[in-house]
Structure 1
Amino acid sequence: MIVLGLTGSIGMGKSTTAKLFAEAGVPVYDADATVHMIYEGEAVPAIEAVFPGTTAGGKVDRARLSAQVVHDPAAMKRLEQVVHPMLRAYHQKFLSDAEASAAPVAVVDVPLLYETGGEKRVDAVVVVTTTPEIQRERILARDNMTDEKLNAILARQLPDAEKRKRADFVVDTSHGLDPVRARIRDILAAAVKMPRRRS
Protein backbone atom coordinates (compact mmCIF):
# COMPACT_ATOMS: atom_id res chain seq x y z
CA MET A 1 0.00 0.00 0.00
CA ILE A 2 1.26 3.46 -0.90
CA VAL A 3 0.61 6.20 1.66
CA LEU A 4 0.18 9.73 0.32
CA GLY A 5 0.62 12.66 2.70
CA LEU A 6 -1.86 15.40 1.83
CA THR A 7 -0.95 18.88 2.99
CA GLY A 8 -1.24 22.54 2.11
CA SER A 9 -1.41 25.87 3.85
CA ILE A 10 -4.65 27.16 5.35
CA GLY A 11 -7.31 28.12 2.79
CA MET A 12 -5.74 26.20 -0.11
CA GLY A 13 -8.60 23.71 -0.51
CA LYS A 14 -7.02 20.75 1.27
CA SER A 15 -10.22 19.59 3.01
CA THR A 16 -12.10 19.64 -0.29
CA THR A 17 -9.27 17.71 -1.97
CA ALA A 18 -9.35 15.14 0.86
CA LYS A 19 -13.12 14.69 0.28
CA LEU A 20 -12.48 14.14 -3.42
CA PHE A 21 -9.86 11.46 -2.64
CA ALA A 22 -12.46 9.77 -0.41
CA GLU A 23 -15.03 10.12 -3.21
CA ALA A 24 -12.55 8.26 -5.46
CA GLY A 25 -12.65 5.35 -2.98
CA VAL A 26 -9.39 6.08 -1.17
CA PRO A 27 -9.24 5.66 2.65
CA VAL A 28 -8.46 9.12 4.12
CA TYR A 29 -7.14 9.86 7.61
CA ASP A 30 -8.12 13.33 8.80
CA ALA A 31 -5.68 14.59 11.45
CA ASP A 32 -7.83 17.65 12.26
CA ALA A 33 -10.97 15.55 12.80
CA THR A 34 -8.97 13.28 15.12
CA VAL A 35 -7.80 16.33 17.11
CA HIS A 36 -11.43 17.46 17.45
CA MET A 37 -12.37 14.00 18.69
CA ILE A 38 -9.65 13.75 21.34
CA TYR A 39 -10.37 17.36 22.41
CA GLU A 40 -13.80 16.07 23.41
CA GLY A 41 -12.45 12.93 25.04
CA GLU A 42 -9.15 11.45 26.13
CA ALA A 43 -7.00 14.60 25.79
CA VAL A 44 -9.20 16.74 28.07
CA PRO A 45 -7.71 15.84 31.50
CA ALA A 46 -4.11 16.00 30.21
CA ILE A 47 -4.64 19.40 28.56
CA GLU A 48 -6.39 20.80 31.65
CA ALA A 49 -3.43 19.64 33.76
CA VAL A 50 -0.89 21.43 31.52
CA PHE A 51 -3.06 24.46 30.63
CA PRO A 52 -5.45 25.08 33.56
CA GLY A 53 -8.71 26.80 32.64
CA THR A 54 -8.70 25.72 28.97
CA THR A 55 -11.42 23.09 29.28
CA ALA A 56 -15.12 23.39 30.07
CA GLY A 57 -18.00 20.94 30.12
CA GLY A 58 -15.70 17.97 29.50
CA LYS A 59 -14.26 19.48 26.32
CA VAL A 60 -11.22 21.52 25.38
CA ASP A 61 -12.23 25.13 24.78
CA ARG A 62 -10.26 25.68 21.58
CA ALA A 63 -10.47 29.49 21.77
CA ARG A 64 -9.04 29.56 25.31
CA LEU A 65 -6.36 27.01 24.46
CA SER A 66 -5.44 28.89 21.29
CA ALA A 67 -5.11 32.14 23.28
CA GLN A 68 -2.53 30.41 25.54
CA VAL A 69 -0.43 28.77 22.83
CA VAL A 70 -0.73 30.71 19.55
CA HIS A 71 1.99 33.29 20.35
CA ASP A 72 4.08 31.05 22.62
CA PRO A 73 6.29 28.46 20.89
CA ALA A 74 7.22 26.78 24.22
CA ALA A 75 3.53 26.35 25.12
CA MET A 76 2.84 24.99 21.63
CA LYS A 77 5.62 22.43 22.17
CA ARG A 78 4.05 21.33 25.50
CA LEU A 79 0.68 20.96 23.81
CA GLU A 80 2.22 18.82 21.05
CA GLN A 81 3.87 16.58 23.68
CA VAL A 82 0.41 15.87 25.11
CA VAL A 83 -1.48 15.45 21.85
CA HIS A 84 0.97 13.84 19.39
CA PRO A 85 1.28 10.41 21.08
CA MET A 86 -2.54 10.10 21.10
CA LEU A 87 -2.74 11.11 17.45
CA ARG A 88 0.00 8.65 16.48
CA ALA A 89 -2.04 5.77 17.92
CA TYR A 90 -5.08 6.70 15.78
CA HIS A 91 -2.86 7.18 12.74
CA GLN A 92 -1.35 3.69 13.17
CA LYS A 93 -4.80 2.12 13.53
CA PHE A 94 -5.98 3.88 10.37
CA LEU A 95 -3.00 2.53 8.40
CA SER A 96 -3.51 -1.03 9.72
CA ASP A 97 -7.21 -0.91 8.82
CA ALA A 98 -6.48 0.49 5.34
CA GLU A 99 -3.82 -2.19 4.78
CA ALA A 100 -6.26 -4.89 5.96
CA SER A 101 -8.89 -3.62 3.51
CA ALA A 102 -6.35 -4.18 0.68
CA ALA A 103 -6.50 -0.52 -0.38
CA PRO A 104 -3.73 0.15 -2.96
CA VAL A 105 -3.39 3.77 -1.78
CA ALA A 106 -4.27 5.55 1.47
CA VAL A 107 -4.18 9.29 2.17
CA VAL A 108 -3.20 10.95 5.44
CA ASP A 109 -4.44 14.53 5.59
CA VAL A 110 -2.00 16.40 7.86
CA PRO A 111 -2.00 20.24 7.81
CA LEU A 112 1.51 20.63 9.29
CA LEU A 113 3.08 17.64 7.51
CA TYR A 114 6.42 19.28 6.62
CA GLU A 115 6.52 21.33 9.81
CA THR A 116 6.36 18.14 11.94
CA GLY A 117 8.68 15.96 9.80
CA GLY A 118 5.69 13.90 8.63
CA GLU A 119 7.01 13.57 5.08
CA LYS A 120 9.31 10.80 6.37
CA ARG A 121 6.25 8.74 7.36
CA VAL A 122 4.62 8.75 3.91
CA ASP A 123 5.64 7.48 0.46
CA ALA A 124 4.84 10.68 -1.43
CA VAL A 125 3.51 14.15 -0.65
CA VAL A 126 0.57 15.87 -2.34
CA VAL A 127 0.52 19.64 -1.81
CA VAL A 128 -2.71 21.56 -2.37
CA THR A 129 -2.31 25.14 -3.57
CA THR A 130 -4.13 28.15 -4.99
CA THR A 131 -3.32 31.81 -5.63
CA PRO A 132 -2.53 34.04 -2.60
CA GLU A 133 -5.60 36.14 -3.47
CA ILE A 134 -8.00 33.17 -3.43
CA GLN A 135 -6.34 31.84 -0.26
CA ARG A 136 -6.84 35.13 1.64
CA GLU A 137 -10.40 35.51 0.39
CA ARG A 138 -11.32 31.96 1.52
CA ILE A 139 -9.77 32.35 4.96
CA LEU A 140 -11.12 35.80 5.77
CA ALA A 141 -14.62 34.55 4.88
CA ARG A 142 -14.43 32.15 7.87
CA ASP A 143 -16.13 32.93 11.17
CA ASN A 144 -13.96 34.70 13.75
CA MET A 145 -11.03 35.08 11.37
CA THR A 146 -9.04 38.29 11.49
CA ASP A 147 -5.94 39.47 9.61
CA GLU A 148 -3.93 39.17 12.83
CA LYS A 149 -5.06 35.58 13.46
CA LEU A 150 -4.38 34.66 9.86
CA ASN A 151 -0.85 36.10 10.00
CA ALA A 152 -0.14 34.11 13.21
CA ILE A 153 -1.31 30.89 11.51
CA LEU A 154 0.70 31.56 8.35
CA ALA A 155 3.81 32.29 10.43
CA ARG A 156 3.68 28.70 11.76
CA GLN A 157 3.30 27.20 8.29
CA LEU A 158 6.03 26.58 5.75
CA PRO A 159 5.51 28.99 2.82
CA ASP A 160 3.41 27.60 -0.02
CA ALA A 161 6.23 28.00 -2.59
CA GLU A 162 8.53 25.88 -0.40
CA LYS A 163 5.86 23.17 0.00
CA ARG A 164 5.27 23.05 -3.75
CA LYS A 165 9.02 22.75 -4.37
CA ARG A 166 9.25 19.75 -2.03
CA ALA A 167 6.04 18.04 -3.18
CA ASP A 168 5.82 14.90 -5.31
CA PHE A 169 2.43 16.06 -6.63
CA VAL A 170 0.73 19.48 -6.65
CA VAL A 171 -3.03 20.00 -6.84
CA ASP A 172 -4.21 23.49 -7.83
CA THR A 173 -7.73 24.24 -6.54
CA SER A 174 -8.05 27.64 -8.26
CA HIS A 175 -10.30 26.44 -11.08
CA GLY A 176 -13.11 24.45 -9.46
CA LEU A 177 -13.63 20.77 -8.68
CA ASP A 178 -13.42 19.03 -12.05
CA PRO A 179 -9.72 19.78 -12.66
CA VAL A 180 -9.04 18.59 -9.08
CA ARG A 181 -10.89 15.30 -9.72
CA ALA A 182 -8.88 14.79 -12.91
CA ARG A 183 -5.62 15.54 -11.09
CA ILE A 184 -6.52 13.03 -8.34
CA ARG A 185 -7.07 10.32 -10.98
CA ASP A 186 -3.60 11.06 -12.40
CA ILE A 187 -2.01 11.01 -8.94
CA LEU A 188 -3.62 7.67 -8.04
CA ALA A 189 -2.49 6.13 -11.33
CA ALA A 190 1.08 7.30 -10.66
CA ALA A 191 1.05 6.39 -6.96
CA VAL A 192 0.33 2.68 -7.47
CA LYS A 193 3.53 2.42 -9.55
CA MET A 194 5.71 4.16 -6.95
CA PRO A 195 8.24 2.46 -4.67
CA ARG A 196 7.49 2.55 -0.96
CA ARG A 197 9.63 5.24 0.69
CA ARG A 198 8.30 5.75 4.19
CA SER A 199 10.53 4.91 7.13
Structure 2
Amino acid sequence: MMKLGLTGSIGMGKSTVAAMFRDEGVPVFDADAAVHRLQGPGGAVVPAIEARFPGTTGANGVDRVALSAAVLGDDAAMKALEGIVHPAVGQARADFLRDHADAPLVVFDIPLLFETGGERGVDRVVVVSAAADVQRARTLARPGMTPDRFDAILARQTPDAEKRARADHVIHTDVAMDTTRAQVRDLVACLCPDKRR
Protein backbone atom coordinates (compact mmCIF):
# COMPACT_ATOMS: atom_id res chain seq x y z
CA MET A 1 0.00 0.00 0.00
CA MET A 2 1.21 3.48 -0.86
CA LYS A 3 0.20 6.24 1.56
CA LEU A 4 -0.24 9.60 -0.11
CA GLY A 5 -0.39 12.76 1.99
CA LEU A 6 -2.65 15.42 0.44
CA THR A 7 -2.24 18.99 1.61
CA GLY A 8 -2.60 22.58 0.51
CA SER A 9 -3.16 26.00 1.98
CA ILE A 10 -6.60 27.51 2.52
CA GLY A 11 -8.54 28.19 -0.69
CA MET A 12 -6.33 25.99 -2.88
CA GLY A 13 -9.02 23.41 -3.67
CA LYS A 14 -7.79 20.51 -1.54
CA SER A 15 -11.29 19.26 -0.68
CA THR A 16 -12.23 19.24 -4.36
CA VAL A 17 -9.08 17.26 -5.22
CA ALA A 18 -9.74 14.82 -2.35
CA ALA A 19 -13.20 14.19 -3.84
CA MET A 20 -11.57 13.54 -7.21
CA PHE A 21 -9.36 10.86 -5.64
CA ARG A 22 -12.50 9.28 -4.15
CA ASP A 23 -14.12 9.38 -7.60
CA GLU A 24 -11.14 7.36 -8.87
CA GLY A 25 -11.81 4.70 -6.23
CA VAL A 26 -8.99 5.72 -3.89
CA PRO A 27 -9.89 5.59 -0.17
CA VAL A 28 -9.43 9.00 1.48
CA PHE A 29 -8.95 9.63 5.20
CA ASP A 30 -10.09 13.17 6.04
CA ALA A 31 -8.43 14.25 9.30
CA ASP A 32 -10.74 17.25 9.78
CA ALA A 33 -13.84 15.11 9.22
CA ALA A 34 -12.54 12.60 11.77
CA VAL A 35 -12.17 15.37 14.36
CA HIS A 36 -15.70 16.63 13.60
CA ARG A 37 -17.11 13.12 14.10
CA LEU A 38 -15.18 12.63 17.34
CA GLN A 39 -16.40 15.98 18.67
CA GLY A 40 -19.94 15.79 17.29
CA PRO A 41 -23.11 14.44 18.96
CA GLY A 42 -22.18 11.23 20.81
CA GLY A 43 -18.55 11.64 19.72
CA ALA A 44 -15.93 9.53 21.47
CA VAL A 45 -13.95 12.48 22.88
CA VAL A 46 -16.92 14.59 24.04
CA PRO A 47 -17.02 13.22 27.64
CA ALA A 48 -13.27 13.71 28.13
CA ILE A 49 -13.43 17.26 26.75
CA GLU A 50 -16.36 18.11 29.03
CA ALA A 51 -14.51 16.65 32.04
CA ARG A 52 -11.40 18.73 31.32
CA PHE A 53 -13.21 21.85 30.04
CA PRO A 54 -16.60 22.00 31.81
CA GLY A 55 -19.37 23.77 29.92
CA THR A 56 -17.82 23.36 26.46
CA THR A 57 -20.11 20.57 25.24
CA GLY A 58 -23.84 19.96 24.89
CA ALA A 59 -26.40 17.88 23.04
CA ASN A 60 -24.69 18.72 19.72
CA GLY A 61 -21.26 17.67 20.97
CA VAL A 62 -18.44 20.17 21.39
CA ASP A 63 -19.35 23.86 21.34
CA ARG A 64 -16.41 25.02 19.23
CA VAL A 65 -16.75 28.67 20.23
CA ALA A 66 -16.76 27.81 23.95
CA LEU A 67 -13.88 25.35 23.59
CA SER A 68 -11.83 27.84 21.58
CA ALA A 69 -12.38 30.44 24.32
CA ALA A 70 -11.27 27.90 26.94
CA VAL A 71 -7.95 27.08 25.25
CA LEU A 72 -7.05 30.25 23.36
CA GLY A 73 -3.73 31.62 24.55
CA ASP A 74 -3.31 28.86 27.16
CA ASP A 75 -0.55 26.46 26.10
CA ALA A 76 -1.28 23.99 28.90
CA ALA A 77 -4.97 23.87 28.00
CA MET A 78 -4.14 23.40 24.31
CA LYS A 79 -1.77 20.54 25.16
CA ALA A 80 -4.48 18.95 27.31
CA LEU A 81 -6.96 19.20 24.43
CA GLU A 82 -4.44 17.74 21.97
CA GLY A 83 -3.81 14.91 24.45
CA ILE A 84 -7.51 14.03 24.23
CA VAL A 85 -8.05 14.51 20.49
CA HIS A 86 -4.80 13.30 18.87
CA PRO A 87 -4.88 9.70 20.19
CA ALA A 88 -8.50 9.38 19.07
CA VAL A 89 -7.63 10.65 15.58
CA GLY A 90 -4.70 8.21 15.55
CA GLN A 91 -7.11 5.37 16.35
CA ALA A 92 -9.47 6.52 13.57
CA ARG A 93 -6.51 6.51 11.18
CA ALA A 94 -5.52 3.00 12.27
CA ASP A 95 -9.12 1.82 11.77
CA PHE A 96 -9.11 3.39 8.28
CA LEU A 97 -5.89 1.55 7.36
CA ARG A 98 -7.30 -1.72 8.68
CA ASP A 99 -10.54 -1.26 6.74
CA HIS A 100 -8.60 -0.57 3.51
CA ALA A 101 -5.69 -2.97 4.02
CA ASP A 102 -6.06 -4.36 0.48
CA ALA A 103 -6.01 -0.95 -1.24
CA PRO A 104 -2.89 -0.29 -3.34
CA LEU A 105 -3.18 3.45 -2.65
CA VAL A 106 -4.77 5.51 0.12
CA VAL A 107 -4.88 9.27 0.61
CA PHE A 108 -4.56 11.12 3.90
CA ASP A 109 -6.18 14.55 3.56
CA ILE A 110 -4.26 16.59 6.15
CA PRO A 111 -4.50 20.41 5.95
CA LEU A 112 -1.47 21.07 8.19
CA LEU A 113 0.68 18.17 6.98
CA PHE A 114 4.03 19.98 6.96
CA GLU A 115 3.17 22.12 9.98
CA THR A 116 2.63 19.00 12.14
CA GLY A 117 5.42 16.82 10.70
CA GLY A 118 2.80 14.56 9.12
CA GLU A 119 4.88 14.10 5.97
CA ARG A 120 6.97 11.57 7.94
CA GLY A 121 3.94 9.26 8.12
CA VAL A 122 3.29 9.03 4.38
CA ASP A 123 5.20 7.70 1.37
CA ARG A 124 4.63 10.68 -0.92
CA VAL A 125 3.18 14.16 -0.61
CA VAL A 126 0.77 15.83 -3.03
CA VAL A 127 0.34 19.59 -2.72
CA VAL A 128 -2.74 21.28 -4.17
CA SER A 129 -1.86 24.74 -5.44
CA ALA A 130 -3.26 27.76 -7.25
CA ALA A 131 -2.09 31.28 -8.02
CA ALA A 132 -2.16 33.62 -5.01
CA ASP A 133 -4.85 35.87 -6.50
CA VAL A 134 -7.09 32.85 -7.18
CA GLN A 135 -6.54 31.56 -3.66
CA ARG A 136 -7.38 34.95 -2.15
CA ALA A 137 -10.56 35.41 -4.23
CA ARG A 138 -11.80 31.90 -3.36
CA THR A 139 -11.13 32.32 0.34
CA LEU A 140 -12.64 35.80 0.65
CA ALA A 141 -15.81 34.49 -1.04
CA ARG A 142 -16.41 32.20 1.97
CA PRO A 143 -19.09 33.28 4.46
CA GLY A 144 -17.62 35.18 7.40
CA MET A 145 -14.14 35.45 5.89
CA THR A 146 -12.36 38.80 6.07
CA PRO A 147 -9.00 39.93 4.65
CA ASP A 148 -7.55 40.12 8.17
CA ARG A 149 -8.73 36.62 9.04
CA PHE A 150 -7.39 35.27 5.75
CA ASP A 151 -3.99 36.88 6.40
CA ALA A 152 -3.93 35.47 9.95
CA ILE A 153 -4.65 31.95 8.66
CA LEU A 154 -1.96 32.25 5.98
CA ALA A 155 0.55 33.40 8.61
CA ARG A 156 0.08 30.09 10.47
CA GLN A 157 0.54 27.94 7.36
CA THR A 158 3.70 26.92 5.56
CA PRO A 159 3.97 29.17 2.46
CA ASP A 160 2.64 27.65 -0.75
CA ALA A 161 6.02 27.98 -2.52
CA GLU A 162 7.71 25.99 0.25
CA LYS A 163 4.97 23.33 0.16
CA ARG A 164 5.41 22.96 -3.60
CA ALA A 165 9.19 22.71 -3.22
CA ARG A 166 8.82 19.93 -0.62
CA ALA A 167 6.11 18.02 -2.53
CA ASP A 168 6.57 14.88 -4.58
CA HIS A 169 3.63 15.91 -6.77
CA VAL A 170 1.76 19.20 -7.33
CA ILE A 171 -1.84 19.38 -8.57
CA HIS A 172 -2.88 22.75 -9.97
CA THR A 173 -6.43 23.98 -9.43
CA ASP A 174 -6.25 27.40 -11.11
CA VAL A 175 -7.07 25.66 -14.39
CA ALA A 176 -10.24 24.12 -15.84
CA MET A 177 -11.85 21.52 -13.54
CA ASP A 178 -11.37 18.82 -16.20
CA THR A 179 -7.65 19.64 -16.31
CA THR A 180 -7.36 19.23 -12.54
CA ARG A 181 -9.29 15.95 -12.73
CA ALA A 182 -6.92 14.75 -15.46
CA GLN A 183 -3.94 15.50 -13.20
CA VAL A 184 -5.52 13.36 -10.46
CA ARG A 185 -6.29 10.52 -12.89
CA ASP A 186 -2.75 10.60 -14.30
CA LEU A 187 -1.26 10.46 -10.81
CA VAL A 188 -3.46 7.53 -9.78
CA ALA A 189 -2.54 5.72 -13.00
CA CYS A 190 1.16 6.39 -12.37
CA LEU A 191 1.08 5.18 -8.77
CA CYS A 192 -1.40 2.31 -9.36
CA PRO A 193 -0.88 0.93 -12.88
CA ASP A 194 -3.71 -1.58 -12.35
CA LYS A 195 -6.16 1.35 -12.06
CA ARG A 196 -5.44 2.59 -15.60
CA ARG A 197 -8.56 2.89 -17.70
Distance 1:187 1:51 in 2: 44
Aligned-pair CA distance for 1:186 = 1.9
Structure 2 match to 1:197: none
Q: Which residue of 2 aligns with 1:141?
A: 141
> Matched residue of 1:113: which SS?
coil
- Unmatched segments (≥5 aa) in structure 2: none
**Equivalences for residues 167-178 of structure 1 within 5 A:** 167-178=167-178
Partner of residue 179, structure 1: 179
Shift of 1:59: 0.9
Give the TM-score of the pair, scaled to structure 2. 0.88
Deviation sequence 1:144-164 (CA, Å, 0-9, x none): 222333233222211111111
Aligned partner (choices 35, 46, 49) of residue 48 of structure 2 = 46
Match of 2:80 among 73, 78, 81: 78
Look up the equivalent residue of 1:96 and give its one-letter code.
R
1:56 aligns with 2:36: no
Instruction: Report the Cα distance in structure 2 between the residues aligned to 1:75 and 1:186, rounded to whole angstroms.
Output: 44
- Give the match for residue 97 of structure 1: 99
User: Is the Cα contact below 8 Å between 1:44 and 1:58 reproduced in 2?
Assistant: no
Q: Aligned with 1:106: secondary structure?
A: strand
- The answer to whether the Cα contact below 8 Å between 1:125 and 1:169 also exists between their aligned partners in 2 is yes
In the alignment, is residue 29 of structure 1 matched against residue 29 of structure 2?
yes
Written as runs of structure 1 = structure 2, the 5 A alignment for 1:1-40 is: 1-40=1-40
Cα 1:73/1:128, change in 2 over 3 Å: farther
The change in CA–CA distance for 1:15 and 1:189 in structure 2 (over 3 A counts) is same
Name the aligned partner's letter for residue 28 of structure 2.
V
Q: TM-score, normalised by structure 1?
A: 0.87
The 1:176–1:148 alpha-carbon spacing in structure 2 relative to 1, beyond 3 Å, is same
* Contact 1:39–1:59 under 8 Å retained in 2: yes
User: 2-side partners of 1:152 and 1:179: how far apart?
Assistant: 31
Aligned residue type for 1:190: C
CA distance 1:135–1:184, shift in 2 (3 Å): same
The residue identity in structure 2 corresponding to 1:182 is A
Answer with 65-74 or 44-53: which moved more. Answer: 65-74
Determine the C-alpha separation between the residues in 2 that align with 1:71 and 1:175: 40
User: How far 1:123 moved relative to its partner?
Assistant: 0.6
SS of 2:100's equivalent in the other structure is helix
Paired residues, number: 191
Superposition deviation, residue 74 in structure 1: 5.1
CA shift for structure 1 position 73? 5.3
Q: 1:79 to 1:136 in 2, by over 3 A?
A: farther
1:191 equivalent in alignment to 2:191: yes
Q: CA deviation at 1:134?
A: 1.4
Q: How much is the aligned-residue C-alpha RMSD, in angstroms?
A: 1.9
Instruction: Give the superposition deviation at 1:179.
Output: 1.1
